[in-house]
Structures are given as structure tokens and as C-alpha cells.
């Protein structure tokens, strides 16, 4: 299994980049793909043209409520299947939450934790999600800027992380923080890259490039602004249906080719 994580400040287009990576893997028939939407806003299913019924966050909150209710009344956790361990129950619920597509399957992590003790539940969740991901050739994860879900994975191994920024200082400050954060967390990220998104005319202002060159990230290049992509977003049409001639897709495809080459993936 090869894992690619996409991260960045909200609104910089990381979900678009994740979708274009998945499109490249599909177009080149590189194997089975699991997409993990680890951004609480849960938009990845929309750009992939998939329906989402519930998220891991919904499952987690439901199980915690049942466990807390059982402790209050001193009985068994209501709603949990009799003679089934909590781990097996979570395994069953998570596997039924996987959205199966023609070319890619999807898990959405959903909302952040509410009040309560999640340690035991999160431990089981990590084990189940890692086991599911291990059955695929590729896992592509769309992350929030804090890398929260990456830090909670049991394997904590990521082959490549792409940090996405736009041409704003806020975006680059977030990218710099992510670059630093990956060293503070117990995550084994083998390669970390930077991609600049929504660049008009493929020109990056000198002050921006000066900041880029200071970051501890390998610079992949730019993804251009594309009016066609804007049309797709306004109409609600899945971005994964962008044509192969799309400047956005071509740019991300080149980046993906480079990353896969450095991984040693043959296609």
C-alpha cells in the first residue's frame, strides 16, 4: 500500500489536488484506491461524485453515547450487538460506512470530537481504518491543516505528503507550520512537497518564491487558475470528471508522476 496525504490551510484547494491525484491513479489503472476525507468539512465525496451517508465521527459519537448510557444505568451498552466486542462492532460499522465506487472507495472521518473520553474508541478506530487501508494499493488522504488524523494513525507511515498553498502569506504561513508540525508529531513522512495552487499565468511573485525557497518542503510547481474548474464547482459537477486536457489536471498529473517515480512505482 502506498499512501499520499494532502494538507494545507482551509480554502487553498487541497481537496481539488487530492481529487486530481485520484483521477491520475484511475486514468493510469494503477490499482485499487481508498480515499480518506480527514477534513471535518467532508467535501471530498462531492468532487469525486459519491454519496456520503455517515462518517466515522458519527459512528464514534454514537458508540460513545451508548457506552456512557450503559455506565449510567449500570448495564450493557444498548445498541451494541450482543456477544460482539466493541472492536468487532466498530469494525462492522466502519466497513459498512465505506462508500464503494466504480474506481475508488471512500471513508470520511467527519466531525471533530466532542466532550468525553475518546482514548479507547480512537484506539479501535485506528486499528480498523489501518486494516481497511492496507487492503488497497493506494490510500489518498485529504487532511486538515493540523494533521490531526495523520497523527492518530497506528502505522503513522506516509509515503508522500503534499502541502498545498495559494499565493497568500496566510497560506504559506500555514504551509510552514505544517512542515514544522510533521517533525513534532510521531509520523513517519518519507517525502514532503509543496504545490502552489490557483496561480494566474504560471507566474509566482518573487516575494512568494523567496518564502517558498525557505520552507523545508520540496517544491513541486504550480497549479494554474482554471475557469473550467470554477464552472464545475458552481454547477456541482464532480471535479473528477474534468477532461484530461484540463490545465489543473495536467499540472497535478505531472506532480503525481514525479512523486510516484520517487516512490519507485512502475506504470
Give the DSSP per-residue string, 127-177. Answer: HHHHHHHTTSSEEEEEE-TT-HHHHH-SS-EEEEEEEEE-SSHHHHHHHHH
CATH number of the domain bearing residue 182:
3.40.50.300
The number of C-alpha atoms within 13 Å of 142 and in the hemisphere containing its C-beta is 32
Q: What per-residue confidence (pLDDT) applies to 116?
A: 47
- Domains contained in the chain, number: 1
Q: Are 265 and 137 in contact (CB under 8 A)?
A: no
pLDDT at 110: 77
Cβ atoms of 87 and 128 within 8 Å: the answer is yes
In degrees, to the nearest 5, what angle opens at C-alpha 158 toward C-alphas 154 and 161? 135
Give the residues of the chain that fall short of pLDDT 50.
77-78, 115-118, 154
Q: What angle do CA 47, 97, 43 make, to 5 degrees?
A: 20
Burial of 231 (0-12, 13-18, 19+ CB in 10 A): exposed
Of 140, 209, 137, 172, nearest to 12 (Cα)? 172
Q: Which domain holds residue 221?
A: 2-263
Cell numbers describing residue 160: 508522500
Instruction: Answer whether 165's CB lies under 8 Å from 7's CB.
Output: no
Interatomic CA distance for residues 205 and 154, integer angstroms: 40
Biggest CA–CA distance in the chain, Å, is 65
Q: What is the pLDDT, as a whole number, of residue 13?
A: 93
Give the per-residue pLDDT at 123: 63
Residues facing residue 165 across a β-bridge? 196
pLDDT given for residue 59 in this prediction: 79
Amino acid at each position: 500500500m502506498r499512501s499520499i496525504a494532502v494538507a494545507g490551510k482551509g480554502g487553498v484547494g487541497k481537496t481539488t489536488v487530492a481529487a486530481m491525484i485520484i483521477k491520475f491513479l484511475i486514468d493510469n489503472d494503477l490499482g485499487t484506491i481508498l480515499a480518506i476525507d480527514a477534513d471535518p468539512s467532508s467535501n471530498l465525496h462531492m468532487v469525486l461524485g459519491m454519496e456520503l451517508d455517515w462518517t466515522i465521527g458519527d459512528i464514534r459519537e454514537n458508540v460513545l453515547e451508548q457506552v456512557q448510557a450503559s455506565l449510567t444505568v449500570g448495564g450493557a451498552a444498548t445498541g451494541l450487538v450482543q456477544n460482539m466486542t466493541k472492536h468487532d462492532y466498530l469494525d462492522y460499522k466502519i466497513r459498512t460506512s465505506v462508500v464503494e465506487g466504480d474506481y475508488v472507495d471512500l471513508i470520511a472521518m467527519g466531525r471533530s470530537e466532542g466532550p468525553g473520553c475518546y482514548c479507547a474508541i480512537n484506539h479501535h478506530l485506528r486499528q480498523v481504518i489501518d486494516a481497511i487501508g492496507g487492503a488497497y494499493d493506494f490510500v489518498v488522504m485529504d487532511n486538515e491543516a493540523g494533521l490531526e488524523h495523520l497523527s492518530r494513525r497506528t502505522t503513522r507511515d506516509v509515503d508522500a505528503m503534499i502541502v498545498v498553498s495559494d499565493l497568500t502569506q496566510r497560506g504559506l504561513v500555514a504551509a510552514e507550520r505544517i512542515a514544522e508540525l510533521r517533525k513534532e508529531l510521531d509520523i513517519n513522512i518519507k517525502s514532503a512537497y509543496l504545490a502552489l495552487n490557483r496561480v494566474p499565468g504560471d507566474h509566482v511573485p518573487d516575494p512568494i518564491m523567496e518564502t517558498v525557497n525557505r520552507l523545508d518542503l520540496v517544491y513541486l510547481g504550480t497549479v494554474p487558475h482554471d475557469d473550467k474548474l470554477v464552472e464545475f464547482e458552481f454547477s456541482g459537477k464532480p471535479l473528477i470528471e474534468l477532461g484530461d486536457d484540463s490545465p489543473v489536471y495536467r499540472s497535478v498529473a505531472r506532480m503525481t508522476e514525479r512523486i510516484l517515480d520517487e516512490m519507485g512505482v512502475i506504470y
